[in-house]
Chains A and B, each alone.
Chain A
């Protein structure tokens, strides 16, 4: 399954919203009615950290300014008000089918 992320990079003014898209080449909807799409943020020098699982569920400790949504095979991560600590590279990932695959990443910087 190919995961296509856009844009490649994003420059955002603090306090402004940001949106990242991820399109999967196949449905990520499992027979258990869960959709296995994840969002990660990788800050410089750190491993990826889980933000969102199963499209829209925020992981423990993730601020509520992060939200995820879907429309068919199109997925969106939204940051309602970007903060300085949100800089890094964001990745989407699917785990419905092996091999598990990641999007190419979206680098977010602060203006």
Chain B
């Protein structure tokens, strides 16, 4: 059974850093592409980043240069390192296996 468990969210001050983790089970994270997607009441669903099987990564313009998507195949876990956080990064963050399975989501709140 595919499971994606996201952790690492919380309240952080503007300019701060946070690292989200997405622990996968039921498949290998290096066998497919994986995404981070975020959701806010105002902007709806927004794609954030993708990591392909070969390891290449791409980012939405809104996070480029600030967020880094990585994976640890030995732990079957993905990471989203988020730096220089802004109020507009406040959202529920989901990791997804390709486009078929989504983790439960975790709230990141950027506020002073």
Q: What residues of chain A have their CB less than 8 Å away from a CB belonging to chain B?
A: 38, 46-50, 53, 59, 91, 93, 95, 98-102, 104-105
Contact = CB atoms under 8 A, between A and B. Distances in A.
A59 B98 CA distance: 13
B91 interface: no
Interface string B2-25: 000000000000000000000000
B100 A48 contact: no
Interface string B24-43: 00000000000100000000
Interface residues of B, number: 17
Contacts of B50: 98, 100
Give the interface centre of B35, B46, B102 by most chain A CB atoms within 10 Å.
Answer: B102
Given A98-B47, A100-B47, 13 more contacts: A46-B104, A47-B102, A48-B94, A48-B102, A50-B99, A50-B101, A53-B99, A53-B100, A93-B99, A100-B35, A102-B45, A102-B46, A105-B44
B44 A47 contact: no
Given A95-B99, A98-B58, A99-B60, A48 B45 contact: yes
B47 A102 contact: yes
Contact of B47 (A46, A47, A99): A99
Nearest to B58: A98
